[in-house]
Amino acid sequence: MSEKQTGCSPESVISSETHPYGPNDKVKEGLVGQNVLDQLEQPVQIQKVVQEAILLAGGAAAILLQVAEPGVGKGVDEHSNFAYRPMDRLRTTMTYVYCMAFGSRSEKEAVIAMVHRAHAVVKGPDYSADDPNLQLWVAATLYAVGIELYQQMFGRMTEEDAESIYREYSVLAVSLRVRPGMWPVSRRAFWEYWDHQVETMHITENAQRVVKDLLWNKELPLHIRFLLPLVRLTTAEMLPKRIREAYGLKSTKLRRGVYRVTLGFTKATYPCLPKAIRTYPMRYYLTDMRRRLKNIS
């Protein structure tokens, strides 16, 4: 999505135009094409990003982008009890992300094995959760949404940091079925891939059911349902224009104004919070993961 598109909030765009890469954007030696678990024992740059609780604010947008890919949408719609357990997908996704960034090698191996077992039964005549192309897209949404939110809160990164974080994010893809060569070799290649995906996807009935279960869910706890109008508004403004309109989500001048005010307030306050508060979800999910791994060992 581009800032130049009519009706878009400039603060919310996720595309190559709002994530510029340097003129010498080159492929550097990194995680792509290597044994990721050997290379990423103690990551530094990706930890700086994924530890931030603000990334959870993009959870709904990431899910809507993921299920916009028809194979992902069908798998989620037909093989998960999304309407009654919508928080489970968040826990599963964030446990995987936090483990890949902060977990020990044995923890990573255990979580990867659990994901493989869960994916093995998610398949149909024309889709499979183990399809590397689908897994590549899911990982791409986590990078695109995460890096956008982080930079909105803390400002643009240096070229060196941006490249390092991008290379380290490849662990989310190639730790599963994605072949190392499939992860775009540079940020330039990534945003070309991203823009192509956004421009060619079509929203299926499966995806529409998922968005209804996610954004209009009556099974959520009351305190979360109270926040759904704000979640719907912010999620709509975060999505690329084409995807937002395909889902039938609204973006009016008033809604964009509310989004800008909300974003401005968050920018002014979130970075000032104690790190212990900003990283609480990460610590909570890692503790939960370790408890569950201990129970099954």
Q: pLDDT, tens digit, for every residue of 167-178?
A: 999 999 988 889
Q: Is 4 inside a domain boundary?
A: no
- How many domains are there within the chain? 1
Q: Is 2 inside a domain boundary?
A: no
Q: Is 258 inside a domain boundary?
A: yes
Q: Is 1 inside a domain boundary?
A: no
* Separation CA 266–CA 262 (nearest Å): 6
How high is the pLDDT of residue 14?
Answer: 62
Weakly modelled stretches of the chain, pLDDT under 50: 1-12, 26-34
Q: Is 220 inside a domain boundary?
A: yes
Secondary structure (DSSP) of 156-205: PPPHHHHHHHHHHHTHHHHTTT--GGGS-SSHHHHHHHHHHHHHH----H
* Separation CA 280–CA 55 (nearest Å): 12
How high is the pLDDT of residue 94?
Answer: 93
How high is the pLDDT of residue 16?
Answer: 56
How high is the pLDDT of residue 82?
Answer: 66
DSSP code, position 105: H
Q: Is 3 inside a domain boundary?
A: no
Q: Is 37 inside a domain boundary?
A: yes
- CA–CA distances in Å: residue 103 to residues 98, 112, 146, 264: 7, 11, 19, 33
Q: Supply the range of the domain harboring residue 152.
A: 10-296
- CA–CA distances in Å: residue 207 to residues 143, 150, 201, 251: 21, 27, 11, 19
How high is the pLDDT of residue 34?
Answer: 46
- CA–CA distances in Å: residue 236 to residues 5, 225, 252, 262, 267: 15, 17, 10, 14, 19
How high is the pLDDT of residue 11?
Answer: 45
* Separation CA 197–CA 144 (nearest Å): 12
How high is the pLDDT of residue 176?
Answer: 87
Q: Is 80 inside a domain boundary?
A: yes
